[in-house]
Every structure is written in structure tokens, then in C-alpha cells.
Amino acid sequence: MTDMQTSSTPPAVHPLDEALVLESGAPGHYTGQTTQAYWNMVGPYGGLTAATALAAVLRHPDVLGEPVALTVNFAAAVIEGPFTVVATPARTNRSTQHWTVSVLQSPAEGGDPQVTTTATVLMAERRETWSGADTPMPQVPPPAECALAPAIFPVQWLQRYEMRPVRGMLPGEWDGSERDSLTQLWMRDAPARALDFPALAALADVFFPRIWRRRALRVPAGTVSMTVYFHAGSELLARTGSGHLLGQARAQEFRNGFFDQTAQLWNEAGALLATTHQIVYYKE
């Protein structure tokens, strides 16, 4: 990884906070600006787009409770430049609140804004109840015993995360040899940053397409829809702080141009913070 990920002097404004700056306009309307810090091959990293949609809801004056679920549909690539986020409370009940979100952007050549992203957000006021865990954190070496992952591709968003693989990273050779799709790695923002809901949403999308691992072929692939379920509340996120999260991802089915992949994210104490599921397009 780069010096940015290991430097002990963090920037005055964290790159994630800079990327999530939203200016209020009409009620529920926010304007933002893409940043190069989270740039992927053809636009911003999808996890950042998910975090932006959630951030718009969290900044709305009518928001209720904390996030429970976020679904993001990537209809088109976001291009460099300004964009608008529209967050609308579709229905508010006694303890739950349902939101619809759209990200709009004018095409490069001008014209009317077009939808690039749609999302739904479920907010809720959580109450103390019986709780249990059926998905314990795997037994893995601690972060300090796992080496930093090298920069695999020359894209900026990879520099925004400290990743320490445990098992199942990209194959050393793109030779078409099939293997399991499982990946485990420790991860956190770089530079380190106290965890909050937008950051957790972004971290849920750090995993490379499972088909690259499964087939050892770098075929074109891109997420079409992603859902994140938040099992942690703000108190658990505060206790997690800027520590590492263990992420585990695997695919379940590859068929006719689409595959799904699921992932879990635990903190170092073994608490499951979030689970995620996405459908990914691929072609030969």
C-alpha cells in the first residue's frame, strides 16, 4: 500500500468526509461533487455512491432512528463533476421510516439531469430485545500478523483502504484455473477514521468481483444492485472506533451473465456489524 495508508499524520479533512460533502438546497435536495480520491475505472467507487445515498438520508431534518437496511441500484456510471441527491421519506411509522433516494447528474454534453442511481433506506428506532449470533467470526490471525495487500490495480479508491488479506485474494496468474470464491481480509479506512454508518456502507463493497477469484479470469464485471443490512447501532460503531473489520465474502451462483456475492463484516471483538448481498453483471 502507499505511504498514505501508513502515515501517522492524518489529513485535516479525511478523504471520505471530503467526498461526502453535501450542500442543502430545496427540502430533501443536496448537491455534491465527485472527487478523485475514490475514483474507480469509469467513475466513483460504488461503495462511495452507496455511502453518499445514505449520508443524504442521515442529514435530512426529518430522519428517524438509525439505518437498518440500504439498497442501491447502479443504473449508470456517475461521471466526473457535480451531482444531485434527492432523499424523500416515503412513509414514517411509529418506529420505522422508509426512504427513496435518487442520484441525478447532467450528461457531459449538457441537458436535463438523468438518474444514475436509485436507492431505498430503512431507518428504525431500535429497542432492547433478546439478541443472538448464528454467524460467529472465523478464527483468523489478528491484523498485525497479516501483511498489507499490494496495490493490485492503478485506481484511486484502493488507496483509501488498508487491506490485510487472510486468505483468498486474487490469483497470481489469470490462467482460468477454477477455485473457491471465498475471501477473508482485515480492512479499515486509510488513513484510519472512526467508523460510522456511511463508512460501514462503503466498506461493504471493498470486495473484488467473486468471478475473478472463482475462475482466475479478469472478465468485465460490475455491481448492478447491492443491499447492506446494518446489525450494529451507533453505540457499537463507537466502540469499534477506527479498528480493523474482518470481511468475508463468497459467491453463491454464477449463471447467464449474473452472479451474486454475499459478505459479512465483524469488528475485532467479534461482533457482526453488517451483512451485504449484491448481484453482479459479467460477460465472457
Q: Is 10 a residue whose pLDDT tops 70?
A: no
Distance, CA of 239 to CA of 269 (rounded, Å): 10
The pLDDT of residue 151:
78
Instruction: Tell the CATH topology of 11-124.
Output: Porin (2.40.160)
Query: What distances in angstroms separate CA 52 from CA 12, 16, 108, 242, one per listed residue?
Result: 20, 10, 21, 20
CATH class of residue range 143-282: mainly beta
Per DSSP, the three-state class of 21 is: coil
Q: What average pLDDT does range 201-224 have in this prediction?
A: 96
Three-point CA angle 135, 247, 244, nearest 5°: 110
Q: Which of 1-15, 20-34, 238-252 has the lowest mean pLDDT?
A: 1-15
| Number of neighbours of residue 95 by Cβ within 10 angstroms | 12
- HSE (side-chain half, CA atoms, 13 Å) at 64: 17
Name the residue ranges covered by the structural domains of the chain: 11-124, 143-282
**Residues of the chain with pLDDT > 90: what percent?**
90
CB neighbour list of residue 212: distance below 8 Å, 6 or more residues apart: 170, 171, 218, 219, 221
Beta-strand pair 114-124/96-105: antiparallel
pLDDT at residue 133 is higher than 90: yes
Residue 41's pLDDT is: 87
Q: How far is CA 97 from the centre of its chain?
A: 22
The model's confidence at residue 225, banded by pLDDT at 50, 70 and 90, is very high
Q: pLDDT band at 135, cuts 50/70/90?
A: very high
| pLDDT score of 4 more than 90 | no
Confirm whether 11-124 and 143-282 share one CATH topology.
Answer: yes
pLDDT > 60? residue 248: yes
What's the mean pLDDT when you consider all of the chain? 94
